[in-house]
Amino acid sequence: MFSAASLLTTLLLALFVAGSPVEVRNSPITLPIARRLNTSGGTVNLVQHDKARVANIKDRSTSTLDRRAGSIPVINDVFSYGAQVGIGSPATTYNLIVDTGSSNTWIGASTAYVNTSTSVNTGQPVEVSYGSGYFVGTEYTDTVTLGSGLTILKQSIGVASTSEGFAGFDGILGIGPLDLTEGTLTNEETATIPTVTQNLHSQGTISQIVIGISFEPTTSQTVTNGELTFGGIDATKYTGSLAYTPLTTISPASTYWGINESITYGSTTILSATAGIVDTGTTLIYIATDAFDKYQSATGATLDTDTGLLGITLPKYDALKNLDFNIGKTVYSLTPNGQIWPRSLNTYIGGSSSSIYLIVNDIGLPSGEGSDFVNGQTFLERFYSVFDTTNSRIGFATTKYTNATTN
C-alpha cells in the first residue's frame, strides 16, 4: 500500500505543466490553529508588544542577541495563533506560535524537550531575537509531526536553555522565508537552516513550498478558529478567486513575506504604493507615521493613553468608511467593523468595555523606509492568505468573514 503522503505527492506532481504557476487546491495536509489571548500577567499591553516586534523587523541589525542586548524590552506574546506540534518518537506535543515573520522552529519555553530515539544533538548553539522576546539554546534534529501522521524527518529544531517573552507557549513554528535563519547558528553566521516547509518539499511530501492560512475573527479569549494548509490551499476557506501579487524587491521588506501596496481611506489615499510585510506574529495593522496621521484625521479618532490605540465615539464609528488595501490589481476592503478591536475583549487590553478602538496604529517612522506597513492578524482574519515560496508570491481572497460584524 502507498502512504497517503506518497499518493498526494504523486497526484500533485502529475499536475505540473509548463507555463503559469500551478495552484494546488484542497490539499489534505492541514493543521488546526488556535488563537489565544495571553493574560497570564494581567492586563496586556498590545501596542507595546507589537511595536517591539515591528522595530525588530524594521531594523534587522537587532536580530541577534549580542547586537540588541538591553535595547528592546521583553514583553510576553499577547495575541498569538498556536498549533499543536509533535516532536520526537514517540512524540511529545508542544504548543507553538505560528509565525510567518520568523523561520526557526524551536521549543522549550514552557514544556521541556523530551529526548527520544530520534533526537540528535548537533552541538550547535542557536539563538533568535524577535524584538518582543528571544531564545538561546542548542540545535537538535528530530522527527516533527504536523497534524495527523504528517512527519518530517531530521528537522532542525532549537531547544531553548533560556527564553523570554513566550508565556503560555512552548516556542515557535517558523514558516517565514529561509533567509531569516541565516546567522541564527552562532558558530556559522552565513549558514541557513531548512524550514519545516522546505523539508516537507525536499522529502517529497508536498510538491510546492506553499502554505495556505485561514484565520477568523473572534470575540473569545481562546478559540480554535484557524487552519494551516501545507503544500496547497483549502478552497473551502475562501470565497471568489485568489489573486496573487509578487514578493517585493524593496529592502528590508524583501527579507520577509513582503509585498507592495497602497492604502486608501474612503476616496483619500493615505499611503502611496510602497513596500511592507504580511505577518501572522503582529496583532494589529501598522502604517507609516504620515499615513497614520492622515487616517487619524480622517476618522476623527483620538489617542487613548490606556491602550495605546485610537478611540472613536459611536457617531464617528457610524461614519467610518472602508479602508482599502490596493494590492496588485485587487482591492481588499476592511469594513468599518473590520477596523475596530473586538469590544468584548476591550478590558483585556486595558480599555473600557463601552469604548470603540481602532486596530490601525503608527509604525513609528515616515514612509519611504522600505517597510512602511505591517498587515497583521486583524487584516488576515478578514482574508484568506497564501504564502507561496515556489512562485515568489502571496495570494489573498475574501472569505465569509470579510464583512463580518462581530467586533
User: Annotated active-site positions, please?
Assistant: 99, 279
Cα 256–Cα 261–Cα 263 angle in degrees, nearest 5: 130
Give CA–CA dist 9/2, Å, rounded: 11
3-state SS, the chain, equals: CCCHHHHHHHHHHCCCCCCCCCCCECCCCEEEEEEEECCCCCCCCHHHHHHHHHHHHHCHHHCCHHHHCCCCCCCCCCEEEEEEEEECCCCEEEEEEEECCCCCCEECCCCCCCCCCCCEEEEEEEEEECCCCEEEEEEEEEEEEECCCEEEEEEEEEEEEEEECCCCCCEEEECCCHHHHCCCECCCCCCCCCCHHHHHHHCCCCCCCEEEEECCCCCCCEEEEEEEEECCECHHHCCCCCEEEECCCCCCHHHCCEEEEEEEECCEEEEEEEEEEECCCCCCEEECHHHHHHHHHHHCCEECCCCCCEEECHHHHHCCCCEEEEECCEEEEECCHHHECCHHHHHHHCCCCCCEEECEEECCCCCCCCCCEEECHHHHCCEEEEEECCCCEEEEEECCCCCCCCC
Contact 276, 375 (CB under 8 A): yes
Give CA–CA dist 15/68, Å, rounded: 47
